[in-house]
Amino acid sequence: MKSILIYFILISAFTFLCFGYDKQLARKNKWRIPERTLFFLVLVGGTIGGLGAMQVFRHKTNKTSFMLVVYGILILQLVLLYFGMDFLKSFA
């Protein structure tokens, strides 16, 4: 259980940094991190870092389609967590 927590902390921190770096690149009109990559990082567990970075850096918050995908991933993760917890309780 401890290793799972460490994983989520690390992936969230990495996602936060990637969102911040992408914002910095956007300000300089340079080649950006693809949205697909940012979505992937959120999907594999960096949701907290991604959402935090969106607020801290004010990054991608005006892009409705991006917001919908990120919040859709969050809802999917919460549903999977709920059913996963329920599934594990059946074995206890």
pLDDT tens digits along 18-74: 999 999 999 999 999 999 999 999 999 999 999 999 999 999 999 999 999 999 999
Lowest-confidence region among 7-11, 44-48, 82-86: 82-86
Number of neighbours of residue 63 by Cβ within 10 angstroms = 13
Whole-angstrom distance, CA of residue 1 vs CA of residue 20: 29
Number of neighbours of residue 69 by Cβ within 10 angstroms = 17
Does the structure show a pLDDT above 90 at 92?
no
- Between CA 51 and CA 66, with CA 44 as vertex, the angle to 5 degrees is 45
- pTM of the shown model: 0.88
